Structure 1
Amino acid sequence: MSGDKVALVTGASRGIGRSIAVRLARDGFDVVINYLRNEDAAKQTLALVEKEGRRGWVACANVGEPDEVAAMMRSLGHLSRLDVLVHNAAIGTFKPLLDIRPNQIELAFKVNVCALLWLVKGALPLMGPGSKIVALSSVGGSRVVPNYGVVGPSKAALESLIRYLAVDLRPRGITVNAVSGGLVDTDALRAFPDWEKLAADAVAATPGGRLGGADEIASVVASLASGQLDWMCGQILRADGGATLR
């Protein structure tokens, strides 16, 4: 493939997604900024990408719907390559598992899990040897977090999907991995019930005595995107400051 390197980041209008988009721009990637509802926020991310001296494009799509993913990929027909695909978009409701409605768990799995498969299938024509796929998981995929009974199981399924995709795509020279973050200080944290207690408990359990930052998760994603970790295949890199060691 020729030309400037290009990355696509889902859910990039704010929070961790925005930090990933800006970090990749800083590392020399042009960036496609996917968002669902907040166009103004997506354009703010775009401005930050351009401030790093890179090109950017905003692309509205509900990645949980295969038809919308396909339409988004068609809208990117002007691109000749896609070097990095980052699936960061996620959705869920924070309540006890037995209070979850069927439509809520279905939506979580569509966006958090199935979307990665639709994105990969749409992106493959633009991805050649050396391309990278990275998904964002969370520690709730491997251990129980209060009021995380929808998102946690969907992240566990996402991690399984990562392993299968890694095996299928490695012969093409495409690496697939995930980054599992601990509790991160973003606006999304404040959507949790009793989030202040949740944050305080996480800080107490973390050897460094603080929450992680979105930029720190972005740095791990950037390391996978850089090509310096190409022997990593189907792995879940945990970036939680050591919180899950206790």
Structure 2
Amino acid sequence: MSAALQDKVALVTGGSHGIGRATVERFARDGATVGVGYGHDEEAARDTVERILKDGGRAFAVRTELGVPGDAARFWETFDEAGREFVPDGKIDILVHNAAKGSFARLADLPEDEFDQVIAVNVKAPLFITKLGLPRLRDGGRIINISSLAATVGSPELLAYGVSKAALNTFTLDLALDLGPRGITVNSVSPGVVMTRNSQYLRDNAELAAQQAARVALGRLGEPEDVASIIAFLASDEGRWVTGQVIDASGGTAL
């Protein structure tokens, strides 16, 4: 274990799978106490926490369904209840917005309620969780939003998702300027295709996976740990002079 985040408290939404899980595990190895946010998969969240504790780290699960009325307030209430043993003062140093809802529909096929849900989870929840969390976030802290290449590269079949991530990028810029006087950095990390549970269709189709990899300058598809390493840099003191940025974490996709 390193000491890059020793004595820091980090909170990651969507922390039980994929990029979120790789991030909380990396934070824990770097010495942080980690809140593992999740919405539905209790087994995965519990397994993530248990693995961290077994390795000598500090972690606890924070269950809150996002995208429903009152989610931000319940999120912090749950954090206080679940983290009482680890974070008695309720303060944090690092907030990572990773939870997201996908959408795979072009405009002609996009239901209005699906669009509303994507915006509620991917934009509204991070915004108001941050708003209510600002008094808890220590000066010199970090906010890291997990965006997507779909926000900057045309992807008609990911319309709602891309729109939501573009909004998150704008939120990043505005918040970085707003919180700069407190020494708080705010950045977006923008992955391309990453091999998570949502990428099973690529594991099942070697030809399609090869086509996707051919679009990547580095010649392969991303892994959760690739993105978690960038997040860990931004969360550490090494990333103190980077703020208001949307950082491409795609291995050079679609260059």
TM-score (norm 1): 0.92
| Alpha-carbon contact 1:63-1:119 (below 8 Å) kept | no
- Displacement of 1:146 after TM fit? 5.1
Matching residue within 96, 99, 102 for 2:109: 99
Equivalences for 1:29-40 in 2 at 5 Å?
29-40=32-43
Equivalences for 1:99-138 in 2 at 5 Å?
99-138=109-148
- Displacement of 1:160 after TM fit? 0.7
Task: Name stretches of at least 5 consecutive residues in structure 1 with no aligned partner.
Answer: none
SS of 2:139's partner is coil
- Report whether the alignment pairs 1:76 with 2:86: no
- Displacement of 1:198 after TM fit? 5.1
The count of corresponding residues between Structure 1 and Structure 2 is: 242
Match of 1:225 in 2: 235
Moved over 6 A (4+): none
Equivalences for 1:72-221 in 2 at 5 Å?
72-77=75-80, 78=84, 79=87, 80=89, 81-145=91-155, 147-190=157-200, 199-221=209-231
Corresponding letter in the other structure for 1:203 = A
Task: Name stretches of at least 5 consecutive residues in structure 2 with no aligned partner.
Answer: 1-5
| Alpha-carbon contact 1:185-1:211 (below 8 Å) kept | yes
TM-score (norm 2): 0.89
- Displacement of 1:66 after TM fit? 5.5
- Displacement of 1:217 after TM fit? 0.4
Fraction of identical pairs, as percent: 40
Give distance in 1, aligned partners of 2:210 and 2:253: 12
Match of 2:3 in 1: none
Match of 1:238 in 2: 248
Match of 1:10 in 2: 13
Give distance in 1, aligned partners of 2:69 and 2:224: 28
| Alpha-carbon contact 2:71-2:125 (below 8 Å) kept | no
Corresponding letter in the other structure for 1:211 = L
Q: CA RMSD in A?
A: 1.9
| Alpha-carbon contact 1:62-1:69 (below 8 Å) kept | no
Residues 104-113 or 77-86, more deviating: 77-86
Residues 227-236 or 68-77, more deviating: 68-77
| Alpha-carbon contact 1:137-1:181 (below 8 Å) kept | yes
